[in-house]
Amino acid sequence: MMKLIIDIGNTRIKVAVVHNCDILHSKVYDSITEDDVRDVVARYPATAAIVSSTRGNSDMVCDMLRPYVAHVVNFSPATTPIPLGNDYHTPQTLGADRLAAAVGCAALYPEHDIMIVDFGTAITIDYVIDGRYRGGNISPGVTTRFHALADYTAKLPLCTATEVVLPYGRTTVEAIEQGVMRGVENEIRGYVEAFYVEKQKKCVIFTGGDAKYFVKRIKNAIFADCEPVIYGLATILEYDAEKL
């Protein structure tokens, strides 16, 4: 089954076409139109589609898809069946991307307990333990932290992520860069070390736009270039289609 995946994130929209475990097509949009949908389906005749959104406009995109795709799922963590137990107390408030990533990582590493760190606008830390989604934590992402310093102080400049590692900054820009990067590094390192102490058969997965900055800084983590959210949404779509 060829599957069309539309993942509407906080700042961008990712459209992918998945067949079996292979991503045949992937493109990022600032916004998406019916012409965009029609063009993708014309090139990749998907028979099923799933739409996931962290910002609430999934109904409109589903309506765009229905003239072109036979089976469309509007993914909701609260109501859509998934091949994974969910212990979250308020599934109606759970980010669709967090749950989809958990499903994807559980499918990729079925014999392990998993900690997933997504370095995006927010940093999310989520856990799959004993085949169930257990929940996780949320903190400001790298770019969000830089903007907070620039927006809520009178003189500090807006800086960006860096791969440079220094013991301390010798300019204000370096001090901000190293302060934010080291702060995130130490925060995530604490989670990783605690997880490895507690669990025996486990893996830590880094994903998201800023993950590349921390793979070298923090050992024992897998850099998920396999796009766990896309893979998870494809897994959920296939699970849903099997119930038809």
How far does CA 210 lie from the centroid of its chain?
A: 11
Overall residue count recorded for the chain in this entry: 244
38 to 31, 35, 44, 65: CA distances (angstroms): 14, 5, 10, 8
Q: How many Å from the N-terminal Cα to the C-terminal Cα in the chain?
A: 14
What is the token pair recorded at 130? 């004993």
CA angle 29, 32, 34 (to 5 degrees): 145
**DSSP E strand stretches across 101-190:** 113-119, 122-129, 132-140
Show which residues are catalytic.
97
Strand order in the sheet with 22-29: 22-29, 13-19, 2-8, 48-53, 71-74
How many Å apart are CA 187 and CA 34, to the nearest integer?
A: 42
